Structure 1
Amino acid sequence: MFRFLRGLVLPEAACEEANNSSRYENLFKKLDLNEDGRVDIAELHVGLKALGIPLGRDAEEKIFKTGDSNKDGQLDFEEFMQYLKDHEKKMKLAFKSLDKNNDGKIEASEIVQSLKILGINISEHQAEKILQSIDADGTMSVDWNEWRDHFLFNPATDIEEIIRYWKHSTVLDIGDSLTIPDEFTEEEKKSGQWWRQLLSGAVAGAVSRTGTAPLDRLKVMMQVHSSKSNKMNISSGLKQMVKEGGIRSLWRGNGVNVIKIAPETAIKFWAYEQYKKLFANEDGKIGTVERFVSGSLAGATAQTSIYPMEVLKTRLAVGKTGQYYGMFDCAKKILKREGLKAFYKGYVPNILGIIPYAGIDLAVYEALKTTWLDCYASDSANPGIFVLLGCGTVSSTCGQLASYPLALIRTRMQAQALLEGAPQLNMIGLFQRIIANEGILGLYRGIGPNFMKVLPAVSISYVVYEKMKQNLGIA
């Protein structure tokens, strides 16, 4: 689309200053839809969309906030031209920071080198894909004119924000919040985009978890009750739950599962920022390993803070009809009968599960995305949302496979007190008992419904997340 814009609105000319004025004037006329000599935010939105450059409300508001010097809610031609001149100066600095050999062109090796300095490792082939998305003349290098035209309306102000533009991520909530938290630029934090994005993810997670709650409860029931002597499959498990408590019982424990999203997300985000500062070097940069360690520690911090709610969710899911009258009644009965320690049963295997889950999830996701870019991408560095969703689904599934035995041990430890006559074993004791009585497969009880919920959970999460972003103006 930027090649189209370049040919239609931004023609090259010999005289730089005259050419700039001509480009600005042509572009202003295309955006000034009612031809009154001023462009308001509605005209900017419609005009840029017509030119194939949909920015989203946040980016458009950022342009107005910066360019509208007299604060009248409109840009006249002088304000419009001044904004573009100032923005071009910032883009010139970003261009020079990437142009390591000062030859007036950016090449793939220079992108690899620059991103490595910022702690992001990509292959030269991936860098070539980035170049192809900017390169208008097919030379596999980007000169200043191509760079300027491509980023003319991108409100990024420095190279780190441009790199975020190149990075594409998606929020996938499958009921297990063990992944690396989102990262936000200083500008996104100041503008409030960070909380809108986190809110979008939280709402998407709530809807997603509610939609797949019957499968989640079935997984917990199979983890706790299924064995060689008590064979519970998906069909018999669902029938048993409906027979015992009716259709509504399929959602038992979902309320706690939804309520804990907000505090867990907020704590994880805050902790991630603190750990990144702790591991950053003198320049404030952080590498891939440090980023992973920070994310894992943030996940552990968040899980520690909200873990009692995990125990409540399991007890409610496994409990019988009438045993508890809600989350607070459940908490009161656990405290009275078992004491405070009961709210952290299964904590150790839960924390141990974060490392294999997050590590494998991240590694497989990056490997799949890189492979797709290397083998199938033709003219863009952006794999596209369906490829990213596929990579995320597979990587999350692999992460679950690695951490599932620990998740099962955690759930059994949380529910042991409800099983009459069952010994109260620790993590090692439970492992030994399951292996002795059921074999290795016993560590994967309930994994069927767990896998069944991945695809619908990812799909629901994505759709709701995108709708929320549109409603909050960050699409």
Structure 2
Amino acid sequence: MEGKKNIQTGLWWRHLVAGGLAGAASRTCTAPLDRIKVFLQVQPHKTAISDTVKYMLNEGGIRSMWRGNGMNVLKIAPESAIKFAAYEHMKRLIRGDEKRPMTISERFMAGAMAGSIAQTAIYPMEVLKTRLALSKTGQYKGILNAAKKIYLQEGARSFYRGYVPNMLGIIPYAGIDLAAYETLKRKYVSSHNVEQPSFLVLLACGSVSSTLGQICSYPLALVRTRLQVKGGNTNMQPTLGLSLRQNDDNMIGVFRNIVNNEGVFGLYRGITPNFIKMVPAVSISYVVYEYSSRALGVSMT
């Protein structure tokens, strides 16, 4: 009886494994689009996606499209694992022993807390991922070499550049993403009287929820990326002939700089490849998580 109860509620390590597999699979499949997005985010004025791709291929060849993906997988596996596990735990804390469906606001709260916990745990890896994605061929010998160089040149604080806008952005993103996904999935299950949604339904739920979260949080994610790059060796900053130098070192200053010099739409620089990668990334992530969870004997409750 106790074993059955554990399977129904979900063991924490099973959620960690399922979340890790989901994150690693989705990021590896969409790594080129993610690197294009990061390139575009740091440009101070509009740059075509085709020009960015051409620059990347000329600079490092086809393999450069996956530059930084090793760090991305190392980062996203624990991040996704912690996020999904924390989400399940937060739901149990909020709901307690009550056997009732959670409200949308309760799911939002659980998702926001889960996202904050996960991002805090892995944030230095986020900075490393950005620096590696923007690096030139031969600049770093690997992840450890990059971490060592950044630490020696800029100090430990450099690994937390952009932390504040990142946390302000992750709260609405994670809250909306997880809450909307589970709400849409449960609505479908109840209205169609089925036990488990199909692959296409999971894809649709994940795409809609992630789109809502991205629209609300993208400007903060862009400011975070610019702060992560700022302070680094300017030789590593691929500008396609443009300058990345800014006059401000804080979140409000970067916001003001972008709006004054690039307009409001500058806050959404790079969102096109982000949306292009979102459907495959989200669908792979949620579907792998769902099916891994079922294989391991747990489910999102």
The alignment's TM-score, normalised by the length of structure 2, stands at 0.81
Letter in 2 for 1:218: I
Partner of 1:351: 167
Matched, 1:416 2:211: no
Rounded to whole Å, the distance in 2 between the matches of 1:363 and 1:460 is 18
SS of residue in 2 equivalent to 1:260: helix
Rounded to whole Å, the distance in 2 between the matches of 1:463 and 1:286 is 22
Partner of 2:6: 186
SS of residue in 2 equivalent to 1:320: coil
1:458: Cα distance to partner?
3.4
Rounded to whole Å, the distance in 1 between the matches of 2:95 and 2:40 is 44
Label 1:209 to 1:454 Cα distance change in 2 as closer, same or farther (>3 A). Answer: same
Label 1:453 to 1:437 Cα distance change in 2 as closer, same or farther (>3 A). Answer: same
The alignment's TM-score, normalised by the length of structure 1, stands at 0.53
Is contact 1:346-1:409 (8 Å) kept? yes
- 1:62-461 to 2 correspondences below 5 Å: 186-188=6-8, 195-225=13-43, 227-228=44-45, 231-268=46-83, 271-272=86-87, 275=90, 279=94, 288=103, 289-362=105-178, 364-365=180-181, 368=184, 377=191, 380=194, 384-418=198-232, 419=234, 421-461=245-285
In structure 2, the gaps of 5 or more residues are: 235-243
1:278: Cα distance to partner?
5.7
1:324: Cα distance to partner?
1.3
1:440: Cα distance to partner?
0.8
Higher relative contact order (Cα pairs below 8 Å, separated by 6+ residues): 2
Letter in 2 for 1:217: R
**Which protein has the bigger helix share?**
2
1:425: Cα distance to partner?
1.9
1:370: Cα distance to partner?
7.1
Label 1:365 to 1:272 Cα distance change in 2 as closer, same or farther (>3 A). Answer: closer
Residues 405-425 of structure 1 show CA distances to partners (whole Å, capped at 9, x for unaligned) of 000000000011234754352
Is contact 1:417-1:424 (8 Å) kept? no
Partner of 1:150: none
1:271: Cα distance to partner?
4.6
Label 1:319 to 1:437 Cα distance change in 2 as closer, same or farther (>3 A). Answer: same
1:326: Cα distance to partner?
1.2
Is contact 1:277-1:284 (8 Å) kept? no
Residues 309-343 of structure 1 show CA distances to partners (whole Å, capped at 9, x for unaligned) of 00000000111112111111111111111111111
Residues 44-97 of structure 1 show CA distances to partners (whole Å, capped at 9, x for unaligned) of xxxxxxxxxxxxxxxxxx9xx99xxxxxxxxxxxxxxxxxxxxxxxxxxxxxxx
Rounded to whole Å, the distance in 2 between the matches of 1:364 and 1:266 is 19
Partner of 2:241: none
Rounded to whole Å, the distance in 2 between the matches of 1:278 and 1:378 is 29
SS of residue in 1 equivalent to 2:132: helix
Label 1:406 to 1:367 Cα distance change in 2 as closer, same or farther (>3 A). Answer: same
Segments of 4+ moved more than 4 angstroms: 269-287, 366-374, 377-383, 462-475
RMSD: 3.4
Letter in 1 for 2:231: A
Label 1:363 to 1:463 Cα distance change in 2 as closer, same or farther (>3 A). Answer: closer
